[in-house]
Amino acid sequence: MKKLVLLAIILITIACEKEEKGYSISGIAQGFNDGVIVYVNSINQSNRPIIIDSTTIKDEKFKISLPVVEDNDFNYITFKDTPGKKNIPGNVLFLAENNPIKMTVYKDSLRSSLVKGGPENDLFSKYIKTMTQYAKEKQEVSREYQIASKSQEKEKLTDLMNKQLELTEKEKTFRTEIAEKNPNSLISVIALTDLLSLKAVPVKKVKEIYTSLEDTLKTTRLGKNLEQLISTSVGKIDIGSVVDDFSAPTPEGTMLSLKESMGKITIIDFWASWCKPCRAENPNVVRIYNKYHDKGLNIIGVSLDKTKEKWITAIENDKLNWNHISNLQSWQEPIAKSFGVRSIPATFIIDENGNVIAKNLRGPALESRIAELLSEKTL
């Protein structure tokens, strides 16, 4: 009798081990021919793709069993057609986790493919769906703003600026809440990486949330990438930082400091005469300056030019009627280097105490923020 009990225990143990060995992907492949090869790919710690396994499609279906996931990460599926036919471009992204995954894949639109199964993939789907919706809404607001700007509908422009600011704030709040409420999810790492890359919140805030995440996430490829991004961002001028005073020569050759140029709100504008995006944005900045200067807006332009004549000519041609300074050292400009500027145009909005309130806003987003800040100041 004891032998039978022992045998039963062994059989149960073996059965449990079989159930725990990895996960499976079941797919419906709409529009695919029989014989198309399905590859499951992963990305190693060196950010290089590796083929894990493969199977073939039959009757517009496929299924594949995969090994146990030890470190959650993104994997993706690619498709290779039968010899003599074109390969199918694109891929289907999913999160590897020890739960059955179901996919519905559309040959003519791999981007529209659906992935379900497991808390990580469900949360990732929610994240992507929400961010896509915000992007569509912001694009529509931008389109309406351009139309209203041409017809000079002032009230509508104000409403649209406020709407865009509201969408940006909602976007930031959504990402932050995802990270704070899911400390054991890789999606939190993704949300924090996005927040840091977009400069949506201060580095110290990202670091604070990252520290609270599960230690297992910090050893993943994406966790290590975020940790490195945080370490390289610490010490740079960011939202929440206090800007130290600086000075440089004006076009007239006299020294001028930031402190002498500050208003209630000040834009520190890094630009150059040779920078096409800077010159394209200048009319918008001029309009905002003319509109809000009397309410307390000042601007100090820091040029990355090398030639004084080109610098002065650009100031005159673009009608940039605010303070300008430059050491005429191009990318070696010491002020730009101290701010961590690696591309231009780059803008830093500071209050009267030198606190950085916002960064790198352009177009309607810049005006919306300035309008909000100065309306608060004048209440």
pLDDT at 60 over 80: yes
| pLDDT surpasses 90 at 20 | no
Residues in the chain: 379
Domain 22-115 has CATH 3.20.20.70: no
Q: Which residue's structure tokens are 């939202």?
A: 239
| 99 Cβ contact partners less than 8 Å away, ≥ 6 residues apart | 23, 117, 118, 119, 120, 121
Residue 12 pLDDT > 50: no
Structure tokens at 128: 């992507």
Give the mean pLDDT of 187-208. 90
According to the model, what pLDDT value does residue 366 have?
92
pLDDT at 8 over 80: no
User: CA distances (Å), 365 to each of 90, 103, 160, 360, 369, in order?
Assistant: 33, 38, 10, 10, 6
Nearest to 28 by CA among 80, 82, 102, 89: 102
Q: Which residue has 């891929």 as its token pair?
A: 91
Asked if the model's pLDDT at residue 72 lies above 70, the reply is yes
Cα dihedral 193, 198, 199, 201, rounded to 10, equals: -60
Identify the pLDDT of residue 84: 67
Residue 15: pLDDT above 50? no
Q: Are strands 265-271 and 297-303 parallel, antiparallel or unpaired?
A: parallel
In degrees, rounded to 5, the angle at the alpha carbon of residue 27 between the alpha carbons of residues 23 and 32 is 145
Whether 10 shows a pLDDT value over 80: the answer reads: no
Q: Is the pLDDT of residue 293 over 90?
A: yes
| Letter string b/e over residues 8-34, b meaning 16 or more CB atoms within 10 A of that residue's CB | eeeeeeeeeeeeeeebebebbbeebee
Class of CATH domain 247-378: alpha beta
Tokens 């351009």 correspond to what residue? 146
| Euclidean distance between CA atoms 379 and 374, whole angstroms | 9
Q: Which helix (H) or strand (E) holds 148?
A: helix 119-150
Is the pLDDT at 377 greater than 80? The verdict is no
Residue 312: per-residue pLDDT: 96
Q: Can you read off the two tokens belonging to residue 101?
A: 């995954």
Comparing C-alpha atoms, which of 71, 118, 112 is closest to residue 93?
112
Question: Tell me, what DSSP letter sits at residue 71?
Answer: S
**Integer Cα distance of 99 and 357 in angstroms:** 43
Rounded to whole angstroms, how far apart are CA atoms 142 and 80? 40
pLDDT band at residue 5 using 50, 70 and 90 as cut-offs: very low
Q: Where are the domains of the chain?
A: 22-115, 120-233, 247-378
In whole angstroms, what is the distance from residue 15 CA to residue 361 CA? Answer: 58
Nearest of 91, 34, 86, 95 to residue 59 by alpha carbon: 34
CA–CA dist 180, 191 (Å, integer): 10
Distance CA 356, CA 351 (A): 7
Residue 4 has pLDDT above 60, yes or no: no
pLDDT band at 235 (very low <50, low <70, confident <90, very high): low
The predicted-structure confidence for 248-288, as pLDDT tens digits, reads as follows 999 999 999 999 999 999 999 999 999 999 999 999 999 99
**CA 324 from centre of chain:** 31
**Do 22-115 and 247-378 share a fold?**
no
Residues 321-357: tens digit of each pLDDT: 999 999 999 999 999 988 889 899 999 999 999 999 8
Look over the chain and give the mean of its residue pLDDT values, rounded to a whole number.
88
Sheet of 346-351: strand order equals 323-325, 297-303, 265-271, 346-351, 356-359
Rounded CA gap, 284 and 122, in Å?
42
Give the pLDDT of residue 17.
Answer: 44
CA dist 62 and 56 (Å) reads 6
Phi, psi of 106 (to 5 degrees): -110, 120
The per-residue pLDDT for 21 is 66
Is pLDDT at 1 greater than 70 in this prediction? no
